[in-house]
Amino acid sequence: MAVIESDVVIVGAGISGLATALGLHRLGVRSLVLEGSDQLRAAGFALSLWGNGWRALDALGIGESLRRMHMQLAKYEATSLTTGQSTGELPLKASGKHGEQEVRCVNRKVLLEALAKELPQGTIRYSSKLVHFEESGHRKLVHLADGTVVKAKILVGCDGVNSVVAKWLGLSKPAYTGRCAIRGFAIFENEHGYGLKFLQYLGEGIRAGMICCDEKSVYWFLTYTPSSQTSWMEQDTKLIKQYVTDQLLSADEKMKTVIQNTLPENIISNPLRYRYPWEFFTRSVSKGNVCVAGDAFHPMQPVVGQGGSSAVEDSVILAKCISEALKGTGVDEHKRIEMGLARYAKERRWRAFLLVSTAHIVGWIQSGKGPVMKFVREKFLSPYMADILLMCSDSDCGKLVAS
């Protein structure tokens, strides 16, 4: 049985896992990232990153390289699928207390590769599936599927919505929202010419949108409530594509063209899950030398575009707390680690509560059916949606400064 020792062990090489490892590296702390697959996984194709996400990426030192590959969006436009009329249009460059807004749609694979490229060789251990972990004094013994045991001073769960680490902490399984999301990625041979807009379409139980990543690629999505009438789709991407096309007959030609230019293999469908907001106060996301970050911490509906941005925010703040704990003096190291992770959990609790709650309420209104919900959606929510998005992103995780 092989035994490996590491001060910090991170489960999962997704956005939060790699960003936490990079944050620690910038602060002079080595970590080991355990990834169950044999390579980086980029499920989801792309994601929107808002001002808080870009500030976090700048803190990690990779913001500028990613900006050069992705277009900055200038305007948000919402359109009713019922009437075909615009229900909201606002610029996306407003300034908040933490600086000017910045919104770009980022290729997920490019982001993961940019994070991984900056890590020291050997930081990521692939084909390392977590089976379980146990206490061993002040360390955790992490048992992997191949029989390897990793001894860790600190264990960080960045293992997604179905997190093993979150379950150990006592967090409940994320709740199903009753809705599913279809996501796609269209790649054009020539420049698509769609400009710098975030276009959104809202209808009876349907929310769809498209965002340009660069001059030749567009990310799109559609959320819906599954029923017996949609069970025939299952995971057949050709049928899913046809369903999306049928639901967006009243959308403009831009959206229709993007769907038509999406290959079936560039379409995925997943149920949407979220953590009950009150859990951030009734249960803890850290215990002793264990904590969680990213989707393992705060899975949320994607309507406020904060899944990726908040995950990178988590990572920067967590890296600072861990570094201070390992390099500190005074009380014994184990106590410093426990206090550091507790400080991280406390600092992120209200932020997570705000984002998850806002996303759930907005998602409920956007997907609501009936004349009352239609009135609320088109007359009250849509005109202020850009303001809500900007409010959620008006946050700054600070800089990383090595001691």
2-11, 202-211, 364-373, 379-388 — which one is most confidently predicted on average?
2-11
Q: How confident is the model at residue 366 (pLDDT cuts 50, 70, 90)?
A: low
Instruction: Give me the mean pLDDT over the 23-50 stretch.
Output: 92
For residues 83 and 250, the answer to whether their CB atoms sit within 8 Å is no
SS (H, E, C) 41-108: CCCCCEEEECHHHHHHHHHHCCHHHHHCCCCECCEEEEEECCCCCEEEEEECCCEECCEECCCEEEEH
> Do 393 and 50 form a contact (C-beta atoms < 8 A)?
yes
What CATH number corresponds to the domain at position 312? 3.50.50.60
Is 31 a member of any domain? Answer: yes
Token digits of residue 120: 């020291």
Tokens of 297: 């911490």
pLDDT of residue 377: 66
pLDDT for the residue numbered 303: 84
Q: Is residue 211 part of a domain?
A: no
- Domain hosting 353: range is 3-56+64-70+108-175+274-368
Kindly report, residue by residue over 191-247, the tens digit of the pLDDT.
998 888 888 888 877 889 999 999 999 999 999 888 776 776 777 888 899 999 988
Q: Is residue 361 part of a domain?
A: yes
- Structural domains of the chain, count: 1
- Confidence class of residue 85 from pLDDT cuts 50, 70 and 90? confident
| Residue-level pLDDT at 386 | 67
Q: For residue 30, tell me if it sits in a domain.
A: yes
Contact by Cβ (8 Å): 100, 51: yes
SS3 215: coil
> Looking at the predicted structure, is the pLDDT value of residue 96 above 70?
no
DSSP 381: I
Average pLDDT of the residues in 138-145 = 94
Among 185-194, 307-316, 356-365, top mean pLDDT goes to 307-316
Residue 396 in any domain: the answer is: no
Give me the percent of the chain exceeding a pLDDT of 70.
92
Q: Is residue 340 part of a domain?
A: yes
Question: What average pLDDT does the chain have?
Answer: 89
| pLDDT at position 381 over 70 | no
**Structure letter (DSSP) for residue 287:** E
Domain annotation covers residue 102: no
Residue type, 375: F
Q: How far apart are alpha carbons 302 and 207 in whole angstroms?
A: 11
Q: Is residue 313 situated within a structural domain? A: yes
pLDDT higher than threshold 90 for residue 16: yes
**Is the pLDDT assigned to residue 145 strictly greater than 90?**
yes
Q: How confident is the model at residue 370 (pLDDT cuts 50, 70, 90)?
A: confident
